[in-house]
Amino acid sequence: MKLGFILFDYFPFGGLQRDCLNIARLSAQRRHTVTIFVRAWQGERPPGIGVELLGRQGFTNIGRNRHFLKRLASALPGLGLDA
């Protein structure tokens, strides 16, 4: 299966981020193709897991989120993700 995970930002000390990465790693170990979509990524990128940086543009949280969601909406349809 082709799986996509979405986080606004990845930083190595966040609980949600740690859980997402653990699930992504387990999925990749089971031979699934995994991509994580984020605005920004801090730290090392995990081997065997795709990371798509969609940018962190905007002056406010709302502006940054709108930009991220627009980029995400245009990126997802062409990828053929199963989940």
For the segment(s) 2-79, the CATH number from 2.60.40.10, 3.40.50.2000, 3.60.15.10, 3.40.50.1220 is 3.40.50.2000
Domain boundaries, the chain: 2-79
> pLDDT digits over 8-17, tens only?
999 999 999 9
Report pLDDT for 54.
94
For 5, the 3-state DSSP assignment is strand
For 6, 13, 58, 60, the CA distances from 3, given in Å and listed in that order, are 10, 23, 28, 30
State the pTM of this model: 0.91
For 22, 29, 33, 59, 70, the CA distances from 47, given in Å and listed in that order, are 13, 11, 12, 32, 27
> pLDDT digits over 20-67, tens only?
999 999 999 999 999 999 999 999 999 999 999 998 888 999 999 999
